[in-house]
Amino acid sequence: MKLLFLNGPNLNMLGIREPEIYGQETYRDLEKYIQNFCVKLGIQCEIFQSNHEGALVDAIQAAYGKFDGIVINPAAYTHTSVALLDALKAVALPAVEVHLSDVSRREDFRQISYVRAACQRTYAGHGFQGYRLAAEFLLEQEKK
């Protein structure tokens, strides 16, 4: 199984950015965490982060025919981006939404997720572990 892990704006600032919400670990730590569990689960992975909405749309489109699923933390674009929703719908790959923090317990403007309509599951508030839960879910789905 081949999964694409996509991370949106400001996630490259992990470790520096609001550590009381997002923790002390860096984006490099997140990449290593994802690579490690993918090896253990026998998943081939690619990880991509961008601060630019269009670059994320391009990455989703490029996944068509190449990946079996997408794990996406769209970060702030979660709450604003019809373009990311449309891209996920366009490629129609199994997708899972991940958030490090529990967005359901945060500000009102974080209660809307556009991408959720194109995702089979959402894991929020599990920190890095949410990415592994998402991958395990997609792996299980593929076996069915």
Interaction between residue 100 and ligand DQA (CB under 6 A): yes
Interaction between residue 78 and ligand DQA (CB under 6 A): yes
In the bound state with ligand DQA, the residue whose beta carbon lies nearer, of 1 and 113, is 113
Helix (H, G, I), strand (E, B) or coil at 105: helix
What's the closest the beta carbon of residue 12 comes to ligand DQA, in angstroms? 11
Count of residues touching ligand DQA (by CB under 6 A): 10
> Which residues, 6 or more positions from 100, have their beta carbon under 8 angstroms from its beta carbon?
14, 21, 22, 23, 73, 125, 126, 127, 128, 130
Active site residues: 22, 99
Helix (H, G, I), strand (E, B) or coil at 101: coil
Sheet with 69-73, edge to edge strand ranges: 44-49, 2-7, 69-73, 95-99, 121-124
Interaction between residue 101 and ligand DQA (CB under 6 A): yes
Quote the CA–CA distance of 93 and 65 in Å, as a whole number.
9
- Considering only residues 56 to 75 of the shown chain, the ones binding ligand DQA according to CB under 6 A are 73, 75
Interaction between residue 76 and ligand DQA (CB under 6 A): yes
Residues forming the site for ligand DQA (CB under 6 A): 10, 73, 75-76, 78, 99-101, 103, 110
